[in-house]
Structure 1
Amino acid sequence: MSAGAQRGAGGLPREAGGLRASLAGLTTRGRSFLAAGAAAAACAYVLGQSQLLRVGLLLVVLPLICVLALHRTRHRVSGSRRLTPSRVPAGGEARVQLRMENISRVPTGLLMLQDRVPYVLGPRPRFVLDRVEGGGRREVSYRVRSDLRGRYPLGPLQLRLTDPFGLVELTRSFSAYDTLTVIPRTEPLPPVRMTGEANGYGDGSRRSLALSGDDDVIPRTYRRGDDLRRVHWRSTARYGELMVRREEQPQRSKATVLLDTRHLAYEGAGPDSAFEWAVSAAASTLLHVLEQGFSVRLLTDTGDSAGGEGGGFSSGGQESAEAAGLMMDTLAVVGHSDGSGLSAAHDALRGGAGFAAQGAAGGDGLLIAFFGDLDEAQAETAARMRQRSGGAVAFVLDSATWAGEPSRVEERLRRLRDAGWTALSVPPGAPFGELWRQAGNAPLGTATSGGRG
C-alpha cells in the first residue's frame, strides 16, 4: 500500500512500519501456525519422520508468505470523510460519510475500514469492503451522537488488510481527522421586553446624527444614488463639492450574558446538573438576544469574554452569525473555573470599552447573569454589577435547592433586589422559557421563585 500524507479530508494511508511491523501483524491463528509448525519440525527431527517435517515446514512457511505478500501490497487508495453538520446540539445526531477510492488500476483485496471515534459518541464503526476495482470507489456512512457537550475528534481513518487465511492483519492509518462540536441544548424564548431596555433596534435605540437646525447638520459627500432632496446646499458651497445630509443610523443596544462557572458554586455533574442547566440557559439567551438585534458578548466569572473581535460585542449581519458560532463553540467546552469570587467579572464590566461607549447614553445595556451559590461577599459583588447596567436580570441556582434540601437563596435574592436586579430562583428541572417570561413580566427590582410551568 502506498505511503502518503492525507490532505484535507482525503489522501493516502501511511505505512505502519517495515517488515518487522508486518511480522507483528500476525493474528492468533498465524502465531498458532508458527508454533505448531516449529513443534512438528522439532518432533520430526527427534523421531526421524520426514513426512512430519514437511508438514511442519508448511505450517511455518505459510504465515511468513502471507506476511511478505501483505507487506509488498501496493494498493493505492484514497480516503475522505464528510461530517454533516459539524456543530450539533447535545442529544442531536451528525452523519459521517466515508469514501474510499482505488486510484490504481489493480483491484484491491478484502479491506476492513475502521474510523476512530471517542467512546461518548458511540461504538467504533467498522465496515468490510469486499473488492474495489481499479478506479472504483465505495461509500459507507454512520451516525454519531452525544448527550455531553464538547469537541470530539473523528479519525484518523484506518484500513485493516488481511490475507485469505486470516493469518496476518495489517493496519494502515490516514493522517487527517475532523472535529465534531457538540454545543449546549437551546430552546426558543418568548419575545418579552426585559426591564430597563428597549428592543435591539427601534425608537429606543436610534440616535440621530443630524440635530435640529441647518447649522447642526453633519453632512457627507454625495454618493451615486442619493436622493437629491437631501442635498445640503450650504455645505456644498462651503466645501466646493456636492454634500448631502447624513441619514439617521440605528445604534444597536448591547447585552452581556454573564455565566458563573466557579466550581464551588455548583454541586453534581452530568447532563441534568445545575451547571449544565446554566450553560444551556446562557446559550439560549445568547441566541435569543442576537435574534432581537442586540450586540452581545459572553462573559464568565474569570473576566474572559467571547463575542466580536478581541472579545468585544458582536456586530450585525454576517458578523453576528459568526459571533453566535464563536460563543456556542465557547460554551461547548466551557468548564468549571478554580476561582472563588466574581471580582474579575465585576472589573470586566466596569472597565469594558464596549460599556464605556454606552455610558453617556443612559446605561450600559442589558445584563443577564446566571449565578451558582452566592455567599454574602459574592452577593455583594453581584449587586454592584447592577450599577452601570440599563437593566439586569439574575437567575440564581442554589445547590441546596437542586439537592432537595431547604433553600438558602432567599436572602441573596433580596440583596440583589435591593440593588435593582430582577432576580429569580431556579428550581431543578425548571423550563427556562417560563423563567424567561417571568423575568420579562416582573417589575423592576423584584425577587421571585421560578416554577416548572
Structure 2
Amino acid sequence: MTPNGRKAIVVIFIVLAAGLISGFPLLSQLFYVLAGTLAVSFVWSRANTRGLKFTRNTLNHRSQVGDVAEEEFFVENTSFLPKIWLAVRDHSTLAGHNASRALLLRGKAKTSWRVKTLCRLRGKFWLGPATVSSGDPFGLFVATRPIADRRPLIVYPATVDLPDFDIPVGDLQGGPRMTHRAHFFTPSVQGIREYVPGDAFNRIHWLSTARNRRLMVKEFQMDPSSDVWVFLDMEREPQAGLGQESTEEYGVTIAASISRHFLSANRSVGLVAYGAHHAVIHSDRGLRQLTKILEELAVMKADGRVSLAEVLFAEGSRFGRNTTLVVVTPSLDESWPRALRDIMLRGVRVVAVALEANTFAPGESSVLLLSSLAEADIPTYWVKRGDALDRALSGQRNGVRRQWHG
C-alpha cells in the first residue's frame, strides 16, 4: 500500500465515523463509494501483475573487462485484458546494467527488448532477479511479484597483447634446447632475420625494419618443456591506489596477460596468489588452463595477510631448474628479492614485474628496492600508473634483455 492508500483508509474511517455519529445518509453513501474504490484498486493492482509470461535470455555467462554482456527480455500478456502501469525492475549487481522497463501491453500482446552492458569491472555478478510491479489508477496500491531468477555472470580481467615480453628461459632437463625455427609464437625470441614470403605479418619487428629499411621478422625459439609460474602479490598492506587505477587491478591485468601470453605459445603456466584464500593453480597448457586462471583472477581480491617473501619461502621449494618464475608485486619490502635470490641459487630463473606504488598514491620511493633487485641480479620490469602495459612490459624498453646476458 502506498502513502496515498493509507491516507485513503484514514479518510474512509473518518467518513464512516461521521456517518454513524450524525446519521447523515450522504456520508454513508460516500463511505460505500470510497470503500468500493479502495477494493477495486486493490484487486486491479494485483490482477495487473498476473497473466504475464516473462523470459530472460542471457546470451553469455562469461565476459571480460572491455567486452559487452548481452541479455534479451520477452514479456507476453496471456490474458485478454490490457496491462497498464507495469514496471519491470531488474536487480542485477552488474554495474551499469539497466534492464528495467515501464510497459503497457494490450490483451494477448508481446514485447521484447535487448540490453547491452559494457563490463568495466572484473568479478562475479548476478543478472537478476527481476520483479514486476503495478498500481491502480488512483495510486493507492502497488503489487509486486518476482518473475525471474538470478543468473551468474563471470567477468574476466582485461588482458593485453605482450609481443615484446621476454623472460629468461628455464634450464631444461633431459636434453638440449631446441633451436630450430618455430612455426608458432613462443615467448623466447631467438633473433631477427629478413622477411620471407609466408611469414605472418604480426611477426614483423618494426624497429629493425625501419633501421634496415627492409622487412625484418622475429625468430622464435622452441622451448616446450620450461614451466612458467606467475606469482601475484595479493597482500593487502603494499597495495596503493583506488578502483581501476590501483596496483591491485594493474597486477591482476598483468598476471592475466602474462598467463595468456605464454599459454598462447603452448607453454605450461601455473599461478600462485595468496589473497584471503590461497590460490595455487598447478601448471598446465591450453585454453582450459587459461579459463581456470582467468576465473580465479576474476574474483581474487588483495585482502591477503601473507607477505610475498613468505609466499616465496612457502611455495619456492616446488620449483626446479626447468622453471621460470614471474613475480608481480607493488611491495617495497626488500625481503622478497632476497627470497627470489635463494630460489635462483637452485637454478630457477626469475623475472620481476614491479608496480611503482608511489605513482598510484603518495608513498615511499622505490630506490632501495631497485638497489636490492640489482644486487640480486633479478631482471625487472617497472610499471607506473598510466603506463601502456604492452610498452611497459617490453624487454627493449626496460633493458631487461641486457641483464640476462652473462
TM-score range, shorter chain: 0.7 to 0.9
Q: Conserved in 1, the CA contact under 8 Å of 2:126 and 2:151? A: yes
Q: Conserved in 1, the CA contact under 8 Å of 2:49 and 2:133? A: no
Unaligned runs of 5+ in 2: 180-222
Q: Secondary structure in 1 aligned to 2:384?
A: coil
Which residue is equivalent to 2:217? none
- Please point out which of 269, 277, 284 is paired with 1:314: 284
Query: CA shift at 1:370, angstroms?
Result: 0.6
User: Structure 1 residues 196, 420: closer, same or farther in 2, change over 3 A?
Assistant: farther
**2-side partners of 1:376 and 1:342: how far apart?**
9
Q: Conserved in 2, the CA contact under 8 Å of 1:372 and 1:397? A: yes
1:395 aligns with 2:353: yes
Query: CA shift at 1:151, angstroms?
Result: 1.4
Which residue is equivalent to 1:87? 62
Q: How do residues 14-413 of structure 1 correspond to structure 2 at under 5 angstroms? A: 26-68=1-43, 70-71=45-46, 75-102=50-77, 104=78, 106-107=80-81, 109-110=83-84, 111-118=86-93, 121-122=95-96, 124-131=98-105, 133-134=107-108, 137-174=110-147, 176-197=149-170, 204=177, 251-301=224-274, 304-306=278-280, 311-315=281-285, 320-336=286-302, 337-351=304-318, 355=319, 359=320, 363-388=321-346, 390-404=348-362, 407=365, 409-413=366-370
Q: Aligned Cα RMSD in Å?
A: 3.2
User: Structure 1 residues 411, 205: closer, same or farther in 2, change over 3 A?
Assistant: farther
Q: Conserved in 2, the CA contact under 8 Å of 1:75 and 1:108? A: no
Which residue is equivalent to 1:415? 372
Which residue is equivalent to 2:191? none
Q: Secondary structure in 2 aligned to 1:421?
A: coil
Q: Secondary structure in 2 aligned to 1:264?
A: coil
Which residue is equivalent to 2:182? none
Q: Conserved in 1, the CA contact under 8 Å of 2:91 and 2:127? A: yes
Greater mean alpha carbon deviation, residues 51-60 or residues 288-297: 51-60
Structure (1 or 2) with the larger CA radius of gyration: 1
Query: CA shift at 1:324, angstroms?
Result: 1.4
**2-side partners of 1:381 and 1:262: how far apart?**
16
Query: CA shift at 1:34, angstroms?
Result: 2.2
Greater mean alpha carbon deviation, residues 272-281 or residues 73-82: 73-82
Query: CA shift at 1:155, angstroms?
Result: 1.0
List per-residue Cα deviations over 1:164-191 (Å, max 9, x = no partner): 4433221111352122223322211114
User: Structure 1 residues 96, 388: closer, same or farther in 2, change over 3 A?
Assistant: farther
**1-side partners of 2:346 and 2:55: how far apart?**
53
Percent identity of the aligned residues? 21
Q: Which gives a bigger RCO, structure 1 or 2 (Cα 8 Å, sep 6+)?
A: 2
Q: Conserved in 2, the CA contact under 8 Å of 1:392 and 1:420? A: no
**2-side partners of 1:107 and 1:346: how far apart?**
71
User: Structure 1 residues 174, 189: closer, same or farther in 2, change over 3 A?
Assistant: same
List per-residue Cα deviations over 1:317-338 (Å, max 9, x = no partner): xxx2222122112112111212
Q: Conserved in 2, the CA contact under 8 Å of 1:116 and 1:156? A: yes
User: Structure 1 residues 255, 305: closer, same or farther in 2, change over 3 A?
Assistant: farther
Q: Conserved in 2, the CA contact under 8 Å of 1:159 and 1:171? A: yes
1:429 aligns with 2:389: no
Amino acid at match of 1:368: V
Which has the larger share of strand?
Answer: 2
Which residue is equivalent to 2:204? none
User: Structure 1 residues 428, 124: closer, same or farther in 2, change over 3 A?
Assistant: closer
Runs of 4+ deviating beyond 6 Å? none
List per-residue Cα deviations over 1:198-221 (Å, max 9, x = no partner): 99xxx9369xxxxxxxxxxxxxxx
Unaligned runs of 5+ in 1: 1-25, 207-249, 447-453
Amino acid at match of 2:14: A
Q: Conserved in 1, the CA contact under 8 Å of 2:356 and 2:385? A: no
Greater mean alpha carbon deviation, residues 273-282 or residues 122-131: 122-131
Q: Conserved in 2, the CA contact under 8 Å of 1:386 and 1:421? A: no
**2-side partners of 1:285 and 1:276: how far apart?**
14
Query: CA shift at 1:192, angstroms?
Result: 4.6
Which residue is equivalent to 2:401? 443
Q: Secondary structure in 2 aligned to 1:142?
A: strand
Q: Normalising to structure 1: TM-score of the pair?
A: 0.69
List per-residue Cα deviations over 1:40-92 (Å, max 9, x = no partner): 22223333321122112211232223324555679444333223443333354
List per-residue Cα deviations over 1:300-320 (Å, max 9, x = no partner): 1469445xxxx32223xxxx2
Q: Secondary structure in 1 aligned to 2:394?
A: helix
User: Structure 1 residues 181, 406: closer, same or farther in 2, change over 3 A?
Assistant: same
Q: Secondary structure in 2 aligned to 1:79?
A: strand
